[in-house]
Each structure stands twice: as C-alpha cells, then as structure tokens.
Structure 1
Amino acid sequence: MGINNWWDSDSDEIYWMEIRKEPVGLGEYLRAPQAAFDGNPSWSYELTSYVQPGDRVFHWHETRTGEPGILGWSEAVGPLQTITWSWQARGTRGRGRGVPTVGPTWNLPLSNYTELETPVTRSALNARRADVLEVRDSLIRVYGKPIYAPFQNYGDRELRAQQGYLTKFPAALVALLFDLPSVSASKVPSDRRRTARARHGQGYLADAEKRTALERHAVHMAIEHYRAAGATEIEELGKPYDLRVTLDGIERHVEVKGSVGDELGSVQLTQGEVDHARTYQPTDLFVVDGIAASRDVDGAIATKGGVVRIWLGWMPSDKALRPTHLRYTLPAV
C-alpha cells in the first residue's frame, strides 16, 4: 500500500477520518476486518493498521437531524489488536449477501472522545466546496493522485464522504475546515471570530509538541538507564540514532522510541534509522511504553512514568518492516 500518497509527510500531526454507519462504540475504538467479504484486501480497512498512538481521528456519522457530518474527534491510544468479530459488509454487494462475515479484525482503542458543540455537517462542508477543492488540487500538485482522501467530489457537484471505513485527513484540510463558522465553540464578536476558531482548532489538534515531549522523556530515561548500568560516556545525537554510549569499553548506538500506548506491538522508523542499525552493531532499540502526558496549568506538556523494554544488538528484519515511515514489529523479549 502506498501509504504516503497524498500525505503531509513533513507534518508531525497525523489525522484520520472514520466513516461510521452505526453509533455503537463511537470514539471508543477503530474496528475493521482484515479482508473484505470476498477475502480480498480493502484499503479503507487496512488503513486501520497504520494508525499510531497519539494520532487524531475525526468521526463522520449521522447527526441528530439525520444529516451526516463530523461529530467529534478522538485520540488513538492502542495497542493494535487482532480480534474475531462478526460484521456486515457495506454497499449493495455486501448487503445482498445477507449473512454477516466472521473473521480476524483489527481493533485499535481510542480515548478522549470530544464532541463538537456544532457538527461539521455535509452542507457546511459544501458551503466551502471551492476551498476544499483548492486544497485538494494543491496537494495533488505536491503528492500526486489523491488516494485515501476523506471526501469525493460526487458528480462534480457536491462533496460527500469517501466510500469506505477509514481515510486519511491531510493537515491542510484540518486548517481549512476547522475555520468553518459551525465549529466555533462560542459566540464571539465578528472581528475576533477567526482568531478564536483558529486557536480552538490548533489547541486540541496539534500533536507536534506532545510527540516532542514524549521523545525527550524517553531519551532522558535511556540516558538514566545507561548511566546506572555504568556507562562511562553518553552522547546525545538525534540522527541517525539517538545516543552514543560507551559501556564496558564497547561503543553502543541506541535508538529510542517513546509512546503513551502500553506494550506496543510496533514502532515507527525512518529509513536512516533502519540503515544505520544494519550497518553498525551493537545498536540497541530502547522503547518506553505507557508514558503519561498531560498539560499543566501553563499549557506545557508534562510527562512522567513509562515502562522500559530493550532489544540489545537490534537488527531490523525485512519481514518485520511495513511501509509507513517504516513500522517495525517488536520481537518477543
């Protein structure tokens, strides 16, 4: 799957949109079968396996008036699980079968479901259709054909949600759509309206600060770990690996990963991180799970805790890598 197609790959903020028909479990989990009813892969299902802890998920569903729209958002917490689930395929072909399918299913826990005071309805979306299409065209010029897009230009006359379960949601569209009047959390004078809405959107959607805080916390824990183990020299680099450590007379390179998720089954890697681990040994993979992150009274990200797991002499294998930054499946300790 060309997961990076039509993606703001330089952004630290990752967004998705879940398109739901049923209200049960809204904001509690992402859940999609690992294959369509005919046994073939489906990109809108498979995208579920690419969502990482800390990513934001918008929820598209019918509003109280019956009009579809974005009702709210959640934060992915993970870990990604495989469960057995009974489901009914969407669309004419799926409904025509009449018999639910039972099989392996991706399940990703969500948290912090936040309902918008006023949903971003389809009519509100289409009121800005020209602006949405302008954003789409600018992304096409940079990233190519808009695969996995959240909206389709139906009949070249109106925007509708994509036919599928999960889509990407480019950061450029977040910046545009959450400037809609319907998103304003409170009534403010017209000369302040734009500033208030922009602050509302960026306040709860910007992940970059949190991701940086988690990384710094994990690196600090790694430094303390190797120092306690008797390291005589520790140098922090960042790229192409995080730490250079001299321990028992041996130079070790350390790649550090941190997350709010518990017992992660995978981590995201860059190609440079993979290449370096394959060319230099010993390289250790130092993972900190379950970091608690919250904002203090001043609005700064505060982090604490975490569970350390270490893979000494780590060598990334091809079969454990997936093409999303890259994603590496952690072997058993």
Structure 2
Amino acid sequence: MAINNWWDSDSSEIYWMEIRQEPVGLGDYLRAPKIAGDGNPSWSYELVSYVQPGDRVFHWHRTSTGEPGILGWSEATGPLETITWSWQARGTRGRERGVPTVGPTWDMPLTRYTELDSPVTRSALNARRADVLSVIEDVARIYGKPVYAPFQNYGGRELRAQQGYLTKFPAALVSLLFDLPAVGEADAPATRKRTARTGRGQGYLADAEKRTALERHAVRIAIDHYRAAGATSIEELGKPYDLRVILDGVERHIEVKGSVGQDLESVQLTQGEVEHARSYQPTDLFVVDGISATRGDGGKVETSGGNVRIWAEWAPSDKALRPTHLRYSLPSS
C-alpha cells in the first residue's frame, strides 16, 4: 500500500494525530495491526510505519467533560518494532465479530507526554471550521489527494475526527490551533504585561539541527552582551549552565534560552538547570526569542536577529514550574 508522503520536501518538523477510543497507553506508544479486521491493509494503520523518532504526535480522546478533543502531545522515540498484539476492531463489524484478533502489529514507543493547558475540543475546533478546512484544502491543492487529514467535514456541517487511528497533521494547523506547550515556565519580569493567552512557550523542536542552531545563536548573543558590559572572563560550559562570566569582579552563571517564538511566556528547563539556579547566585536567565531560522541553499540552518530579555539573580520559583511528566522508581522485584 503506497502512502503519499506529501511533507518530505517541505518540513523537517513532522506532526501526526492519534485518534484514541481507550485511555490505556495514551502517550506511551503508537500501536496498529499490519492488517485490518477485514484482512486488508489500512492507511490509518500503515501510517504508524512512517513515524520517525523526533516526530510529534497529538492525541485525540475524550476530555474530562466527555467531549472529544486534542488532550496533549508526545514525541516519538523509537525504534519502530513489530510485535504480536491482541486487538479488537472498531466499528459495527468489529463489534459484531466480538473476538479479538491476534497478529503482527507496528509498535512505535512515545515519550514526553504533555497535556495541553486547555484541550482543543471539537466545539472549539468547529468555531474555526472554515479556517481548518482552508488549511486542508490548501494541502490537497498543493500536494494532491489523499491528504490523510485529521478532521473530516461531517455532513458538510461540522468537523469530526477522521475515521481511523493515525492521521497526518499539517504544520499549518499547528500554527492555527495552538502554540506548542513548554516544559518549564520562567518568572516574568514585574514590568511585563501578561496577556490572557496561554501556552506561548518555547516548545520542543523535533529538528535537532535547528534546535542546536537556535541555542548556538542565543549563546553568541549572550557572549556579545556580557563582553560589551565589561566582562573580563567568559567561559562557555553548556551544563549545568551555559556561561561562566566574571563581571565587575563577580562570578555570574548564565542560563541561555533561544527560540523562534515571539514574546515567550515560558521556556524549557531541565531539573539540573533548576537545581543549579537555586543553589548558586548570582545566576542570570538570558532569553532570546523571535530568532529567524531558515535553511540556506545547502540545507544548513541559518539564524539571525532575536529579542533579548534578562532576569538577573534568577531563582525559579515552584509556582512558575509546570511538571509535564513524573519519573517513577520501580520497586525491587
């Protein structure tokens, strides 16, 4: 079964949407049989075999109120494997059979399950129905059909999730519907006016090369800033903080964050970064957002620009940190 892989020439940031009926395993894996219940291949199952480590997967399931919607996202970690799995086919035919099927199944491990601040519910989706359909139509016009879209125009009157398991998710829909959530949130300066919009975070880029280029660009800007401020020594470390700076005879540690996002309200933090900032002062949080990142003719990521904000003597407060997953220590067997 040939799948039209319409994004290969355009984007290194790949998105999918898993449509779930059961909550078990949500955000832990993508899992789909190689053959559908009728004995034939299914495009929505076979798409699992196209997922690569680093791709982002959105999860469609029922919210706490019972309304379906996008609850959160995960990152594919791989490797893709074939396992033997028992599963029950969906739909009327599957219910009529009543007997689970056991057979070869694609299995793609996921990680970093992160709930959205507010689920993108079906009613919220339909409030932007015309815009969503416009994006899907643009994809079809540019790349041709099938689109493997995450939503269908049911009865020509409302959007519903696709009848399938896994769909593609155009990057334009990501920009339209929400900003990707962040892992940790920094304290905002007292003079900064916060907006009512939530989720404007640094997010997580699936493109490792682009992510590295943004980090390097932000570090270069930070070095230039402290050098211009009169620093007598600047040492680049990377972990557990980015720069060691001697300024006015004082050793300062600098944590640097860079993003293409505009006017960030949150950034990603590791546990080590949080613990170090709390244990050593002065530590500065140096954020560069609004960076332009494009690929040149040779495919290399080129960066430029950016807006600088600095939180001096920064120590992350508990109320500003938002956990996205919990580490569980397994008991002794």
8 Å CA contact retained: 1:8, 1:170: no
Shift in alpha-carbon separation, 1:75–1:179, aligned structure 2, 3 A: closer
How far residue 95 of structure 1 moved from its aligned partner, in angstroms, is 1.3
How far residue 142 of structure 1 moved from its aligned partner, in angstroms, is 0.7
8 Å CA contact retained: 2:79, 2:109: yes
**Structural RMSD (CA):** 3.2
* 1:100 corresponding residue in structure 2: 100
Q: How high is the TM-score relative to the length of structure 1?
A: 0.58
Paired with 1:122 and 1:52, the residues of 2 have a C-alpha distance of 28
SS for the counterpart of 1:3 is coil
Note the alpha carbon deviations across 1:178-211, whole angstroms, 9 max, x for none. 169xxxx9xx9999456x65x43xx325323x24
Instruction: Count residues in correspondence.
Output: 214
Which one-letter code corresponds to 1:68 in the other structure?
A: P
SS for the counterpart of 1:48 is helix
Please say if 1:44 is aligned against 2:44.
yes
How far residue 81 of structure 1 moved from its aligned partner, in angstroms, is 1.1
Paired with 1:80 and 1:15, the residues of 2 have a C-alpha distance of 16
Paired with 1:179 and 1:76, the residues of 2 have a C-alpha distance of 19
SS for the counterpart of 2:203 is helix
Structure of larger gyration radius: 2
* 1:163 corresponding residue in structure 2: 163
8 Å CA contact retained: 1:83, 1:105: yes
Once the two structures are superposed, the pairs formed by residues 109-148 of structure 1 within 5 Å of their partners are: 109-148=109-148
Paired with 1:106 and 1:171, the residues of 2 have a C-alpha distance of 24
Which one-letter code corresponds to 1:24 in the other structure?
A: V
Query: Identity across aligned pairs (percent)?
Result: 72
8 Å CA contact retained: 1:33, 1:45: yes
Once the two structures are superposed, the pairs formed by residues 158-237 of structure 1 within 5 Å of their partners are: 158-178=158-178, 192=195, 197=199, 199-200=200-201, 203-208=202-207, 210-212=208-210
Paired with 2:113 and 2:240, the residues of 1 have a C-alpha distance of 16
Shift in alpha-carbon separation, 1:190–1:47, aligned structure 2, 3 A: farther
How far residue 147 of structure 1 moved from its aligned partner, in angstroms, is 2.6
SS for the counterpart of 2:147 is coil
8 Å CA contact retained: 1:151, 1:159: yes
Shift in alpha-carbon separation, 1:211–1:46, aligned structure 2, 3 A: farther
Please say if 1:17 is aligned against 2:17.
yes
Which runs of no fewer than 5 residues in structure 2 stay unpaired?
214-238, 243-254, 260-333
Paired with 2:64 and 2:22, the residues of 1 have a C-alpha distance of 13
Indicate the structure with greater helix content: 1
Note the alpha carbon deviations across 1:54-113, whole angstroms, 9 max, x for none. 000000000111100000000000011111111000111111111000011111110000
How far residue 299 of structure 1 moved from its aligned partner, in angstroms, is 2.5
